[in-house]
Structures are given as C-alpha cells and as structure tokens.
Amino acid sequence: MLKSYLKLAWKVLWRRRFFTATSLFGISVTLVVLMVATALLDHTFAPMPPEVRQERTLGIFRARFTGPHSTWNSAAGYRMLDRYARNLPGVERMGMVSVPTEVQSYPGGTRVDSTMRRADAEFWRILDFTFVEGGPFTDQDVANGSSVAVINVATRDRFFGGPPAVGRTIEADNQRFRVIGVIENVSTTRPVSSGDVFVPLTTAKTDAYKQEMLGDFFGLLLARSPADFPAVKAELLSRLKSVEMPDRDYDRFFAPAETYFESVASRSFGDRNEERSHPERLWGAMVFVGLLFMLLPTVNLVNLNVSRIMERASEIGVRKAFGASSRTLVGQFVVENLVLTLVGAVIGFVLSAIVLRTISGTGLFPYAHLHINIRVFVYGVGLAVLFGLISGVYPAWRMSRLQPVSALKGATR
Amino acid sequence: MTRHLLKLVWNRKRSNVLIAVEILLSFIVLVGVTTLAVFYVDNYRKPLGYDVENIWTISFEKHAPGRSSVTIESGPEDAAAARKPVDRGFVGQRARIAQLMMSLRDMPEVESVAAAFVTPYSSNTWNSDIEVGGKHHRYGFNAATDDFARTLGLEVTRGRWFSRDDDGAAWTPVVLNERLAQEVFPDKDPIGQFVDEQRPGDSQGPRMRVVGVIREFRKDGEYAAPENFLFNRNRLDDPDVEVQPPNEIVVRVKPGTTAAFEEKAITRLRGAEPEWTFQAEPLTQSRETSHRLWLAPLSAAAVISVFLLIMVAMGLTGVLWLHVTQRTREIGLRRAKGATIVNIQRQLVGEVVVLTSIACLAGVVIIVQFPLLDVFSAVSPMVYGVSVAISLVCIYLLSMACAWVPSRLASAIQPAEALRYE
C-alpha cells in the first residue's frame, strides 16, 4: 500500500515540476538560513572543545561600582577574584584569564597581530585544550613569573612557519617568551577560551593589577554540578557586600557569577541597575526573530499547497466515485507531502553543509568550523512537515468529505 | 474599471487573502533591507570631518592603578557633597604622554602629533548631555589637545580651535560641531556663548564656553548617522589632579611614508615607556575594519531577502497560474463575448495590482509607525520615505511580472475549447 502511495506521490510531484521545484526551493533555502544562524549561535554558546565542562562552569565576566550618579563598568580585577571568589562552596576549581589584548610583534620586519591573554595554571585544568606540542604552564611557572608562553597553531605558523615551536622564543608586547606548548586554534567567537598567546598572569609588566577590584580578568568557576549554581551565585553576592568603595561617588559593588549565555543576556537586555540576569529574554528574542523569519516562507508554502489541492478537486471526485474512502485519500496526500518535505530537507541539508563550509573557509569568523545543528535541523523539518500537513492535507480531507458528484463538478469555492 | 476589479478580487477573497498576506510580508522585508541600505547611502554622502590618509592612531595601555580602560558615565554632580579631588596619578601620566609625543615629533616622517580620548573609528564612546534653555541636548564627547584639529585635518568653520590662549581662562573652552551649534543656538552666533546653565545650588565648577565650531567629527565613520559632538580641551600639563589622561595618540605623517614607520614608532615608544603596551594602526586600516562591521549585517540581510523574494516570485507565479487554469471557463466565455487577448491580460494583471495595492496600503500603515513612534531615532523620515518608494516600485514590478506569465497562458485559451468544458 505504502509502496503504491510512494509511487503515486513521485508521479504527481514529477508531473507538476514547477510547483515541486518552488516548494523544494522554499523549504531548502529556509532550512539553510536557519542552519547558518544556529551554527553561529552554537559556535558562540554551546559547549565545544576546549570548553567541554561548560555545563558546570560559571564565569565572572563583569564587575561594576555604582553610585547615585556614576557607574564604573569593567571586567573583574585580580584582587576581587583573589579575595572574594576563591574557595566558594561547591566549586572545585577557580581560574582566571585576562580579557584578550591585541599585541603587535615585528618578527623579521613584518607585522604580526596576536591576541594575548594572561592566565593562571588552573585555567588549563578547567578547560581542556588539545596540545599539538608541549604542554601548559604550571603553578610553579605562575608563582615564579616565568617568561613562558602557550601559543596556538596559527601563531606558530605566523612566527615560525611550522613545527616545531617548543623551546623557541617569541616577542610579544615588548617581552620575550619561551614557547612551551602549542594548542589547536579556538574560534574567536569563544571569548572564554580563544586566544593566540597565553602567558602566566604574573608576567605582567607591573604589579598594579594585584590591587585592582575592577580590571581585565574573567574568573572561571568549575562547580561540582549545575545544581550548585544558585548557591555559588548567592555566596559570591553575599561576600561582595563587604567590599570597600574606592571613593564616595560609589555605594555598591557588583560582580555576578553567571554562565556566558546569561552574561550576554544581561548585556543586551538587562537593566543596568538590576542584579538578576534575564536569559529568558535572550531566548525569547532569538525564538521571536526565528519565527518572524519563517513567517514568509510558511505563508508561501501554505499558499502553494492550498492552490494545488484546489486544482485537484476533480481528481478527488473521480477517486471518491470509484469508492476510495476519505482515509485512503488523506493517506495519499500525507505521503505526498512527506515525500516533498523530506526531499526538500535532504537538499537543504546538503546545501547547508556546503554554505557552512564556505563561510568557515572565508575567515569571516577566524578559526571557526561551523557545523549543522542536527536538533535544530529536525525542528526546522518538523515545522515544514507541520505546515505542509495543515495546508496540504486539511483542505484535501475537507474535500474528500464532499459528495463525489459535487467534487467532480469542481465545487471548490 | 477599478470597482469591477475590486469586485472580482472580493469574489475570491479566501484565496486572495493568503496572496495579499504574502505580498504584505514581502513588502515589509523589502522595506527593512532598503531602509538600512538607504540609511547607509544617505550617511555616506555627508562630510566626514577629518582626513583618513597618512594618519596613524597609537593606543596605549598604561598598566597603572586607576587607568582609564574603563568607561565612566558621569551624571549630574551631586550638589550637596563638596567633593575632595581624588588623586589617581593622572598628572604624572599626562606628563609621560607629553614626553612620548615629543619623541614622536622628533621622527623625520612625522608632521604633527596630538592626543585625544576618542579617535575616529574606535569603539570607545563617551556620551553626555547639556541643558540650555530648558532643553536637553545629547552629544558625543571627546577631549583633545591643541594639535588635534591640525593633525586630523578638522575644518574650523567659525571661531578657532583650542590653543595656549585658553591657558588662563576662567571657563572651560569647548568646540562644537555645526550640528550641535545649530541645535543649541539656532539664531545666534555660538562663539563666546556658554553652553551649560548653572542654577543656584549646582556645584560651581568652571562653565563651558564655545570658542569654535568645526564642520563635523563623525567618530563612527561614513555609515553611522551624524551626531552632535562636543570637544573639550585636554591640556597635558594641567595641574588639576582630576583631569584624565588621553587614551590615544594620533600622528600625521608626510605623504609617501611607508608601513615601516609603524615599527620604528612603536620601538621608539617602547624604549621610552617599557611598562606600557602600545598598538599602532593606520587610520585607513581602521576604516576598512569598521566598514566591514557596518556592511556585514546589510549584506547578510540582502542575501537572505533576495532568496526570500525569489521564493515569493516562484510561489506567486505558481499560485496565479493555478488560478488561471481554474478560470478557463470564465475566460473562454469572455473571449466568446468578444474580449480581446489584451483585455484578458489587463484584467488578470489588474486583479493582482489591486491585491498588491491593498497589501502595500496595510504595509505602509505598519511602516509609518516607525518614524511616528521614533523607534530608530537615528533614521530620518526621509530615509523611510525613499525606502518605501523603492520597495513599492520593486513589489509592483515583482507582482506584475508574476501575474504576466500566467496571463499569457490564459490568453492562449481558445474560446471554443474553453466553452467545450461547459
């Protein structure tokens, strides 16, 4: 039975080539746009190496002094993290890494731009970098302020033209570092782990950073499980109540522990003086934009399907006259629709893969390797199936309940 | 004729509603993309205010406590609290920056050197507002040294730029751009006017007095909407401990200076101040980076909407085609009664034009809300007007093209053949 349905569907779709092509074009292009957008979002927010323990990692990404008339915003300072964020209950490890700084070097007279980050040794244990050569710097290196560096593959190639790099020296920001490790490139869409040159935070040119409450460090808190998050957040907030104010312009200090997604949400949608972040607002905005985009393709698909079914009124009439039940007819249209949507999905999948590979290749997002998000792909196809059924099968079902004679007469309106 | 067409459209309202919705959505998508494009084109045509060629910006991080890589948004001063000035080491830092600028001036390639808080195309912004005559004026703020106008090639249209003459002044000298001067002083000469009002009870700091007006300073570059701008004078040897040091140095070099200048300059600066971090970039390169950031959303939106419109065009053609085949009998009857092929085509295309007009009317009603409610205050109503006009032309052309193909098909119908079905 199914086989004859499939055969029939194939014949019908092939007979109306222009309409089939239009539907397929619509479905596949919509899927491609959806896939590119979600691939970029995944590349920004979803767990991926080296942030493999992202589910149980909280970050301290922003800190702020506020007063009645003044706000002083920045990343957290070393002193704040060192004094208030260590040994939080439920936290296994606390590491820190500076926000990326652009530094310039001139090896052999040509200019090389790198993003440099200063980190402690815990940073390498919280994240799981893939080392191509050597290894990370140790607690000992950090304590001694050793001039050692971990660089990524791209930086190795820019400085040395290829392996090996371990043991050689690079100049960055007027300082010299001995390379002790080479890691795989990490996409620049990952502000937590992306960087070209990592050096111990104690190699900073002066000790001024040690006194800073606001500065340029991200704190990373590896909790035992996500269930500990509320307790960690609350404990940090209560500890920060005792922070001294730098001068009388300010009366409050605030540096929340939050996931990266939450920090982006509060940057885009948060109220400046509100301590709670609103991840649901960012989710809402993303879903809203996605649905808004899908509106036009959906109306287009519905329009096509409705017209197509109307056109086939007489076919339905004939089939009814020869004794086909409503169920048989509906079954036929469901299969037809599914075949159409699935062919569109396959084309969309292949196109998405090609487009994503092209985007990764252009270097628009340095070091990015974009992938299709299967889950969102399934949702997209699911929506296409849903609207296909509503717009294609529902009118067919209504028509199949007409008297054969009126259907035959073409009573479509 | 129109009434007749309206009746025909109304008779098939159920399927026509869907088509109208589709045209409406396409219209809104088109208006969205063209508004962005027209906005950019409109901004691009306006003067930028500064030179881009032969200028390098050098930013530096001072690695010292109280450094200014943070954004401080200042609000109105608290009147009651007499504040003790806080010494953050600014005087010393400014002196060191003056030294660095001196050592750059010694280089043979260099024509002039200046320092400022904010340089063109940088992502730093500092906004503030003033109240004059009960009206608030928002503006972008920058503090710059006496050589800034010369180094960046700013055009002073009235008055003068800052100079040593301002050293002993009892007021804070400021320079406005034409836009802000026009807004605050629409009918008098701004030179010599005070731009902040002081009421009893306000903290009695020095007042801001206009010494000059410049043509323009569009910090965010060609694609950004022109904004009000106000310059303060930054004096590197100011004894006041609260005057912050600038963040960036700008250098104008002689024409023909090569990129090798950059390494020489950086080496020199690093030698003079080994604890600081320096970063140099030609302004042409900053411009390129900034343009990429501005154009990326437009090109993404344009690519997506082109695909959407192709999809709509195909879909609409298909749907109208089916409608024509369903109306074979009606068309045959009209042909038999003497209607020419042109009559039939005109009727079919006319129906679509009526539908498009209804959809666009609804679309315009929606779009008009944006300027009325001032949703994007940077976008002027003129920009909306132009983009709506462009979109209307496009959408009518699109829908008429989609109707024309099936109407050709309809005109091929032979009356005798069509009526045979009856």
> Mean of the pLDDT values across residues A227-252?
88
Size of interface A-B (CB pairs under 8 A): 132
CB atoms B280 and A69 under 8 Å? no
CB nearest to B64's CB, from A69, A208, A248: A208
Q: Which residue has the higher pLDDT, B70 or B266?
A: B266
Q: Do B314 and A25 touch (CB under 8 A)?
A: yes
What was the pLDDT predicted at B25?
Answer: 94
Domain assignments of chain B as residue spans, ordered by start: 2-45+291-420, 63-275
Rounded CA separation A60/A83 (Å): 13
The count of residues in chain A is 413
Contact B280 A104 (CB under 8 A): yes
Q: Say which of B14, B75, B326 has its CB closest to residue A311.
A: B326
* Residues B312-344: tens digit of each pLDDT: 999 999 888 888 887 877 888 888 888 888 888
**Residue B236, SS3?**
coil
Q: Name the band, by pLDDT with cuts 50, 70 and 90, for residue A354.
A: very high
- The reported pLDDT for the residue numbered B63 is 66
Three-state DSSP at B292 gives helix
Q: What is the mean pLDDT of chain B?
A: 86
Confidence (pLDDT) at B304: 92
Q: Do B277 and A101 touch (CB under 8 A)?
A: yes
Grade residue A67 by pLDDT with cuts at 50, 70 and 90. Answer: confident
Q: Give, in order, the Cα–Cα distances in Å from A190 to each of A44, A104, A260.
A: 6, 21, 10
Which residues of A fall within a CB distance of 8 Å from B22? 296, 299-300, 303
User: At B376, is the pLDDT very low, low, confident or very high (cuts 50, 70, 90)?
Assistant: confident
What phi and psi values does residue B158 have, to the nearest 5 degrees? -140, 150
Per-residue pLDDT tens over the stretch B41-61:
999 999 999 999 999 999 888
Mean pLDDT for the stretch of residues A290-313: 84
Q: To the nearest whole angstrom, how far is the Cα of B75 from the nearest Cα of chain A?
A: 5
Confidence band (pLDDT; 50, 70, 90) for B306?
A: very high
On whether ipTM exceeds 0.90, the answer is: no
Write the pLDDT tens digit of every residue in B265-284: 998 998 898 888 888 889 99
| B135: its two tokens | 């009206």
Give A153→chain B minimum CA distance, Å.
23
User: Nearest residue of A to residue B11 by CA position?
Assistant: A413
Which of the residue ranges A4-8, A215-219, A354-358 would you say has the lowest mean pLDDT? A4-8
pLDDT value at B83 more than 60 = no
| 3-state percent breakdown (helix, strand, coil) of chain B, nearest 5 | 50, 15, 35
Q: Nearest 10 degrees: CA dihedral of B46, B50, B55, B57?
A: -100
Q: Is the pLDDT of residue A195 over 90?
A: yes
Q: Looking at chain A, which residue has its C-alpha nearest residue B65?
A: A208
CA distance B342 to chain A (A): 26
- Residue A155 confidence (pLDDT) above 70: yes
What are the tens digits of pLDDT across the range A327-336? 888 888 888 8
Contact criterion met (CB below 8 Å) for A20 and A14:
yes
Average pLDDT over residues A137-151: 95
Is the pLDDT reported for residue B67 higher than 60? Answer: no
| Contact call for A412 and B70, based on CB within 8 A | no
Between the CA of residue B115 and those of A104, A274, B248, B332, B350, what are the distances in Å? 21, 36, 6, 81, 65
Q: How far is A346 from chain B (nearest CA, A)?
A: 18
More reliable by pLDDT, B32 or A244: B32
Contacts of residue A304 in chain B, CB cutoff 8 Å?
Answer: 315, 318-319
Q: pLDDT-based confidence at B86, cuts 50/70/90?
A: low
The residue-averaged pLDDT of A61-86 equals 86
Closest in B18, B274, B312 to A302, CB measured:
B18
pLDDT tens digits for range B18-40: 899 999 999 999 999 999 999 99
Separation of first and last alpha carbons in chain B: 27
Q: How far apart are CA B413 and CA B328, in angstroms?
A: 7
What is the structure's pLDDT at B85? Answer: 63
* Confidence at residue B78, expressed as pLDDT on a 0 to 100 scale: 44
pLDDT of A272 reads 58
Mean pLDDT of B189-196: 86
Residue A184 has pLDDT above 50, yes or no: yes
pLDDT of residue B322: 84
Band of residue A413 on the pLDDT scale cut at 50, 70, 90: very low
Q: Between residues B296 and B326, which one has the greater pLDDT?
A: B296
Whether residue A412 and residue B72 make contact (CB cut-off 8 A), yes or no, is no
Mutate to test the interface with A, among B314, B316, B327 (most CBs of A within 10 A): B314
The arithmetic mean of pLDDT across residues A106-132, rounded, is: 92
3-state helix, strand, coil in chain A (%, to 5): 55, 20, 30
pLDDT at B213: 95
Contact residues, chain A, for B12 at CB < 8 Å: 413
For the cut 90, the answer to whether the pLDDT of residue A375 exceeds it is: no
CB contact under 8 Å between B14 and A413, yes or no, is: yes
The chain A residue lying nearest B305, using CA atoms, is A293
Say whether B311 and A300 touch across the interface (CB within 8 A). Answer: yes
Contacts of B179 (CB under 8 A, 6+ apart): B216, B226, B227, B228, B229
Nearest to A223 by CA among A53, A94, A47, A56: A56
- Nearest residue to B143 (alpha-carbon basis) of B72, B41, B54, B63: B72
pLDDT per position as a tens digit, B224-263: 999 999 999 999 988 888 888 898 999 999 998 888 888 8
Q: Name the band, by pLDDT with cuts 50, 70 and 90, for residue A239.
A: very high
Give pLDDT, residue A207. 83
Is residue A407's pLDDT more than 70?
no
A147 has pLDDT over 80: yes
H helical segments located in B12-121: 13-45, 90-105
**What is this structure's pTM?**
0.84
Whether residue A63 is predicted with pLDDT greater than 60 in this model: the reply is yes
Residue with tokens 């092209």: A358
A70 → closest Cβ in B72, B279, B326: B72
Distance from CA of A71 to the nearest CA of B (A): 6
A159 — pLDDT class (breaks 50, 70, 90): very high
The reported pLDDT for the residue numbered A281 is: 87
pLDDT tops 50 at residue A365 = yes
| Residues 242-261, chain B, touching A (beta carbon < 8 A) | 259-260
Contact between chains at B311 and A212 (C-beta distance less than 8 A) = no
Lowest mean pLDDT among A84-98, B19-33, B106-120, B371-385: B371-385
Element (H, E) at B347: helix B341-373
Q: How far is A69 from chain B (nearest CA, A)?
A: 5
Say how many CA atoms lie within 13 Å of A405 toward its Cβ. 0
Average pLDDT score, chain A = 87
Label residue B80 by pLDDT band (50, 70, 90): very low
**Which of B96, B123, B319 would best serve as a mutation to test chain A binding (most A beta carbons within 10 A)?**
B319
To the nearest whole percent, how much of chain B has pLDDT over 90?
49
Helix (H), strand (E) at residue A139: helix A139-144
Q: How confident is the model at residue B70 (pLDDT cuts 50, 70, 90)?
A: very low
Question: In which band, very low, low, confident or very high, does the pLDDT at B75 lie, cut at 50, 70 and 90?
Answer: very low
